[in-house]
Structure 1
Amino acid sequence: MTPRLEITPLPYRADPLGYFARLRYRPGAVLLDSGRPVAPGGRYDILSSDPLSTLESHDPGGSSPGGETPFAAQQRLLDGLDLSVPDSDLPFLGGLIGFWSYDLGRELEPVGRRAASRVALPTSRVGLYDWALIQDHHERASWLVATSARRRQVLAWLDAAGTPPGGFRLRAPFAAELSRAAYLERFDAVQRYIRAGDCYQINLAQRFSAPYRGDLWAAYLRLREATPTPFAGYMAWPAERGEQAILSVSPERFLSCREGRVEARPIKGTRPRGATRDEDRQLAAELEASLKDRAENVMIVDLLRNDLGRVCRVGSVRVPQLCGLESYANVHHLVSVITGELDADRRPLDLLAASFPGGSITGAPKVRAMQIIDALEPSRRSVYCGSLGYVDVRGRMDTSIAIRTAVADRERLHLWGGGGVVADSRGEAEYRETLDKIRHLMAALGAPLADPPLGEEDQEL
């Protein structure tokens, strides 16, 4: 007999932290965090643990022995989840939760393999979950979605005392992988590619890293407090050489799908929040009026329209919002919205594969931009600019773009900062932007970025 999911009300909490404190040491514990009660636009928190199985892909050769791509293997795993689900508007009724790294794009497009792999996370890692705790902050309601047997287990876990965060500290300041001069050399190379007609825009990023000790959940709480965002997430797991984890406070949706209705929300164009109300309004108005930022945004909209068109019904792709202003705790962004209707013979993982990685963090045209990124950035991006999210048994999906994201591996914490480079970009301004986008994250973690930044070779561990 097919197990049936039941929906049980739970006490509502204004944020997911108390519930997750009771689950975070469970195997496969995951939190998709709306950033409430502070983050604008957030609605649902999704928490789970103890997956029925976990599927990882690794580089090189992310395909399985039969030539199956990671996305196809994940679809097969999802198809094997035998559950009877109730009629419900809740976003997740069992399915896959996990991450897909930027480097998974190497399995989809002829990108190249020049950049070194310095972060040893899998290229993707998803768990198959048959239960979830879901908080709906619009309705101010919390729900447990589980079979009756699983419900008894989860309620026992939730009745236990939560584990408070432990101590966390960075053992040294963050070090930049690139010196200012090395970044500017790469910026100049991008300009040559643009003048030669290879590309219109390149998202050029650099990596920063620092050694740490302590509880990564405590580090996530610091990031969440400093930057409450609607597409945040936390997941950690044991690895061969210590704990690996993702601490993401992303403001950006990549793709969502609900009953075949697809939405992408690319961000391109950023200004800091002002110190005063007048300065804040001035910076927002400057961003809205910026022809350069709007042009960058429109390029990415065109790229995503093309990606969605590969799997959406002909004529269904639309742009209901172009370059709308959205404001967060630390920055203003220009955000566009692209929608479409998924072809009847396509599924959400087909949509993810057709669009991956997100165009807002590659450049245009996408494949050539990814090749140039691989040639210029000295190390691979790992989870940065990949995605966190879920795909449920009914075909619902929601994923983020993993910017403003820290990755823990072998007792080092890595952050990346980047931005779009176009023909009229200025090298010094772009270099400062890579620092400005993550400076507040570094400060929240207790080690502000040195100015000028230390190089990795300068840092004494």
Structure 2
Amino acid sequence: PPAEIGEDEPQRFLDGVACVLDYLRAGDVFQVNLSRGWQARFDAPLDPAALYARLRQANPAPFAGLFAGEGWAVASSSPERLVAVHGRTVQTRPIAGTRPRFPGDDDAARIRELVGHPKERAEHVMLIDLERNDLGRVCTPGSVEVDELMTVESYAHVHHIVSNVRGQLRPGATPGEVIAAVFPGGTITGCPKVRCMQIIAELEQVPRGAYTGAFGWLGRNGDMDLNILIRSAEVRGDTASFRTGAGIVVDSVPGRELDETRAKARGLLRALVPEA
């Protein structure tokens, strides 16, 4: 277990949500993803592979991976795909809409409430439109479609609303152009992206590091599959850190958004603090 573990001051996040709500009411933006951090320090250097194994057990996810360098590593249990290319087909799989999941919960009731909630539906559809626009930059006109709409995926600690957007790449579109079109993911910045990133920088006041970046694989033929680095921990020596966020819209309740960041942190905390 860690020698010490701490989370960012909750009030700072609540104050940030209040500022975002002011921007939303002014019509400056439509949605902003605001995040907060946790840090753990251990008595000895962490073994990234061991942490990754615990993370896989505590929070299984389809886009998990371990990326290690000299003295640092990123261990990810991400549920979200940023972009995949296979042949001429490109797709992105945005997540927007979350509810916590607890042992003994009535999963069916929790899911019904999630998918039936007007706020969650409106936020999700808005972000689908953003992703359609992103793919449209590199796709043949008219080929972009939503082939899976508002599916619920249930993980160890949360339920998520997920959709899939795909299109056919225009001739000559390069892997770099594809990544530039979709990065960073709209679900972890907000809408519109650039203004949201400015607001995030103003309110979070620290670099996000690997959080909300991406990793995956890229083939010589241009095929690729990249995740979004959420539910992911950065390891440097005897310290580990991670961030979680929540999408803020005009009718968000600050306390509930704080609870969402904690629900998303549970799998990472369980990997770092086995008794958590």
Give TM-score scaled by structure 1 length: 0.58
Query: Could you give the per-residue CA deviations for residues 96-148 of structure 1, whole angstroms, max 9, x where no partner exists?
Result: xxxxxxxxxxxxxxxxxxxxxxxxxxxxxxxxxxxxxxxxxxxxxxxxxxxxx
CA distance in structure 2 between the aligned counterparts of 1:447 and 1:417, rounded to whole angstroms: 19
Q: Is the 8 A contact 2:2 2:272 kept in 1?
A: yes
Given candidates 5, 9, 18, the residue that maps to 1:188 is: 18
Please tell me the residue identity of whatever aligns with 2:33: N
Report deviation, 1:171: 1.9
CA distance in structure 1 between the aligned counterparts of 2:271 and 2:90, rounded to whole angstroms: 35
Q: Is the 8 A contact 1:202 1:362 kept in 2?
A: yes
1:254 maps to 2:85: no
Q: Is the 8 A contact 1:274 1:283 kept in 2?
A: no
Please tell me the residue identity of whatever aligns with 2:7: A
Report deviation, 1:359: 0.5
Report deviation, 1:444: 2.5
Report deviation, 1:441: 1.7
CA distance in structure 1 between the aligned counterparts of 2:262 and 2:154, rounded to whole angstroms: 19
Moved segments of 4+, more than 3 Å: none
The verdict on how the C-alpha distance between 1:274 and 1:412 changes in structure 2, with shifts beyond 3 A counting, is closer
Query: Could you give the per-residue CA deviations for residues 152-204 of structure 1, whole angstroms, max 9, x where no partner exists?
Result: xxxxxxxxxxxxxxxxx42212x123x12211111110001111111000000
* Equivalent residue number for residue 160 of structure 2: 333
* Equivalent residue number for residue 202 of structure 1: 32
Larger Rg: 1
Give TM-score scaled by structure 2 length: 0.95
Report deviation, 1:411: 2.8
Runs of at least 5 residues in structure 1 that lack an aligned partner in the other structure: 1-168, 450-461
Given candidates 239, 254, 258, the residue that maps to 1:427 is: 254
CA distance in structure 2 between the aligned counterparts of 1:361 and 1:406, rounded to whole angstroms: 16
Report deviation, 1:445: 1.5
Ranked by relative contact order (alpha carbons within 8 Å, sequence separation 6 or more), the top structure is: 2
- Using the aligned pairs only, state the percent identity: 43
* Equivalent residue number for residue 219 of structure 1: 51
CA distance in structure 2 between the aligned counterparts of 1:407 and 1:420, rounded to whole angstroms: 22
Q: Is the 8 A contact 1:272 1:330 kept in 2?
A: yes
* Equivalent residue number for residue 18 of structure 1: none
Aligned length: 274
CA distance in structure 1 between the aligned counterparts of 2:56 and 2:262, rounded to whole angstroms: 19
* Equivalent residue number for residue 119 of structure 2: 292
* Equivalent residue number for residue 235 of structure 1: 67
Query: Could you give the per-residue CA deviations for residues 351-399 of structure 1, whole angstroms, max 9, x where no partner exists?
Result: 1012110111000011111111011102111111111111101111101
Given candidates 95, 102, 118, the residue that maps to 1:267 is: 95
RMSD, aligned α-carbons? 1.5
- The structure where helix makes up a greater share of residues is 2
CA distance in structure 2 between the aligned counterparts of 1:440 and 1:339, rounded to whole angstroms: 30
Please tell me the residue identity of whatever aligns with 1:435: R
Runs of at least 5 residues in structure 2 that lack an aligned partner in the other structure: none
1:282 maps to 2:112: no
CA distance in structure 2 between the aligned counterparts of 1:274 and 1:407, rounded to whole angstroms: 26
Report deviation, 1:343: 1.1
CA distance in structure 1 between the aligned counterparts of 2:54 and 2:75, rounded to whole angstroms: 10
1:383 maps to 2:214: no
